[in-house]
Structure 1
Amino acid sequence: MTITYEWRGDIDNGALNALHAEGFGGSVGVVDWRGRLERHSVGWVCAWDRGELVGFVNVAWDGGVHAFLLDTVVATRCRGGGVGTTLVRLAAEGARSAGCHWLHVDFEEHLRAFHLDACGFRATAAGLIAL
């Protein structure tokens, strides 16, 4: 397996919908990822294995200095080999290069070690309202 990474890679909606369904459960959706990314994201990182999309992270932003990681996902067969941490590292580099000063991430408790230990985020106080 040889993984390559690409900042603002060419996204195929079908491939990303399938990867998203694999990573987060549920059926394969029909999300227009290309449109969503162009409207709301400073960038994104794709991970490829011989032309197959095996990892993705979206870097949404506020149009200023704050960027937000969303939809971090790695194909099941590629987990545990550093693909996720590389996606996040490259997302941080891309956001920094775009002029962002802060990279935020929300995560479920079972992902705490990944985000805080493996990726270098630090814990902060935050609030959330379920809408």
Structure 2
Amino acid sequence: MATRSTKEVGDAAEAAALAHLQAHGLALVRRNYRVARGPSAPGGEVDLIVRDRDGTLVFVEVRARAAASHGGAAASVLPAKQRRVVYAARHFLTGLAKLPPCRFDVIAVEGERITWLRGAFDAG
């Protein structure tokens, strides 16, 4: 059996996360939204941007791990990663005429198990 690359694992986790969100009534707005900050400063990326049924714009970080050991996938979304997601989200919002309600969710994919953490962190 061939070993999958990190990118393949990440892409599969994002696809599973998107299917999970769509099954719960959320609609895809954008996938893999990236923004650069500068030559020596990391920018940001949002794995999935979806709209909830109530109009809330949801910025989703997807994390995949083979198992829940070492704190699991959700525990790997550290403050530095949160800041990069928030940075990209703020950039995305500048292109909108009207600011909708927003939240930041994390989808943890551990093997076949998907855990959806609504409001996992905030922009503060």
Going by fraction, where is helix more abundant, 1 or 2?
A: 1
TM-score by length of 1: 0.37
TM-score by length of 2: 0.39
